Amino acid sequence: MSHPLFAVLAVAAIALAVGCQPALAQEKSLLERATPEQQKMFENLKPSVLKEAAQKPRLLADSKEDYFWVMSAQLVPLMQAYEYSRDPAFVEAFVPVMEQVLLQRYLHPTKPEWNGWFHYKGFGNIALIDHDAILYFTPALMFVKAVRTDAKLTEKYGAKADAWLKDVEISIRNWDKRGCWHDLGEKGGWYTNVPGYPDAKTGEIKPLGKEAEIYTSGQVPYNKIHALFQSLSLAAQITGDPWYKTRMEKCSKFFRAHWRVDDKHAEWNYRDLSFPGDYESGVVGQGKTRTGAFIHYKGGYYALDVEGVVRAWDVGAGFTKGDIEKLLQTNLEFMFMGDEKDPKFKMINGQYKAEEKYYKGYLWTALAHFSPKVRELWKTDLDRARAAKTWMWWSGDLEYLIEMSQPVSWDRRLVKAN
């Protein structure tokens, strides 16, 4: 199972090949089509999702970086739960939380491309692209998709959904206007971090502080762009605009080129050093680097990368069946340590430190799309998490329930058949 901190970035939003036309009245919800055991799982988690949404929202100015994860944890499960049950109570709870988040956004007086959630405590006022994705792009697009598939929701929230969709589309492209996107031609493309931040009082774009200078225009780690993939996939479904799929294709090509593959597994770094901003000299390959290229000790980051691969697969934006098979081999043979009743996983490079909080791998639950074995191990993990009442255990259950509504297959679920 992915590290609980990243559970909110679950595969649920892209897992269903559901269009954006109004649903037929007689069509049953996923909950109604579920098994009695699955229906019980949902009824068990429902109060927790609504209780979390009712928590007093945090203020960005009083928060550290965990603001983005905590608020996302309130927002995303609400829309997952609606997707599964079609219970409008989840949408009703979602809207005021999303509105409160938007009230925290800094709006630049003259340069709207610098709108965003910059001014929080510590970490140098850095805007990271996955912050925007998990806090705003993905939950808002899930809301738009829900509203456009239900006539009653369209009547009540249609104008709001249209406005948020327009704003999200502009906001995703604002990362390009900040100079963060790099089209690399035949090598694909990738993002670098922002070069600075807007002063809250003057709007002047200032350089990042020394404590955050490693982020200045350097390569965005892979997992952060793969978090963005959920937003790109949703936007592609809703709008039909090929821009989103093309962006995923370019990123997928860049990422896949950095895999290291042998006969037992595939592995890749947390980030690589591919852009001038990765070097103090400003020249690729010359002199001291601002940061390193390494396998991160937080194994959950690699679960996010695999989720990105599966999202790209589902929209037909890169990766081959052989690539997926290599990931299955890596997770179920190379990383899995063999105890099906108490599943444990090595890191992607084979490292495992039982005594440490990190230095461990996880089950790559996104691969449940293709593997009954992953589904079985996932259920074991969920049962343990639920019994222990780990943070956001209900989000994992929601991911599982939505995935189980579809059969194991090699279908690209979001590619329309000719």
- Does residue 230 contact residue 140 with C-beta atoms inside 8 Å? no
For range 92-96, the mean pLDDT: 98
Q: Identify the pLDDT of residue 22.
A: 45
Average pLDDT, the chain: 92
Cα distance between the two ends of the chain: 35
For range 104-124, the mean pLDDT: 92
Distance CA 104, CA 245 (A): 30
Q: What are phi and psi of 179, to 5 degrees?
A: 85, 20
The domain locations on the chain are: 4-18+30-404
Q: How confident is the model at residue 151 (pLDDT cuts 50, 70, 90)?
A: very high
Q: Which residue has the higher pLDDT, 10 or 98?
A: 98
Q: Identify the pLDDT of residue 26.
A: 55
Query: CA 223, 247, 117 angle in degrees (round to 5)?
Result: 55
pLDDT digits over 29-80, tens only?
999 999 999 999 999 999 999 999 999 889 999 999 999 999 999 999 999 9
SS3 28: coil
Alpha-carbon distance values, 40 to 35, 36, 45, 111, 389 (Å): 9, 6, 9, 50, 17
Q: Identify the pLDDT of residue 124.
A: 67
β-pairing verdict for 260-261 and 266-267: antiparallel
Burial class (CB in 10 A: 0-12, 13-18, 19+), 185: exposed
- Does residue 226 contact residue 300 with C-beta atoms inside 8 Å? no
Using CA atoms in the order 87, 93, 97, 100, what is the torsion angle rounded to 10 degrees? 120
263, pLDDT greater than 70: yes
Query: CA 365, 91, 108 angle in degrees (round to 5)?
Result: 90
Distance CA 211, CA 107 (A): 25
Give 315's Cβ-side CA count (13 Å radius). Answer: 30
- Element housing 103 (H / E): helix 88-103
Q: Identify the pLDDT of residue 211.
A: 76
- Element housing 162 (H / E): helix 151-177
Distance CA 187, CA 253 (A): 7
Looking at domain 4-18+30-404, its CATH architecture is Alpha/alpha barrel (1.50)
108, pLDDT greater than 70: yes
For range 85-99, the mean pLDDT: 98
Q: How confident is the model at residue 136 (pLDDT cuts 50, 70, 90)?
A: very high
Q: How confident is the model at residue 417 (pLDDT cuts 50, 70, 90)?
A: low
- Does residue 2 contact residue 298 with C-beta atoms inside 8 Å? no
- Does residue 268 contact residue 305 with C-beta atoms inside 8 Å? yes
SS3 289: strand
- Does residue 111 contact residue 103 with C-beta atoms inside 8 Å? no
| Chain centroid, CA 267 distance in Å | 20
pLDDT digits over 178-229, tens only?
999 999 999 999 999 999 999 999 999 998 877 787 788 999 999 999 999 9
Q: What is the pTM of this model?
A: 0.92
Give the CA radius of gyration of the chain: 21
Contacts of 200 (CB under 8 A, 6+ apart): 106, 118, 119
Alpha-carbon distance values, 124 to 120, 127, 291 (Å): 8, 9, 16
β-strand partners of 190: 182
Distance CA 309, CA 248 (A): 10
pLDDT digits over 383-403, tens only?
999 999 999 999 999 999 999
For range 159-181, the mean pLDDT: 98
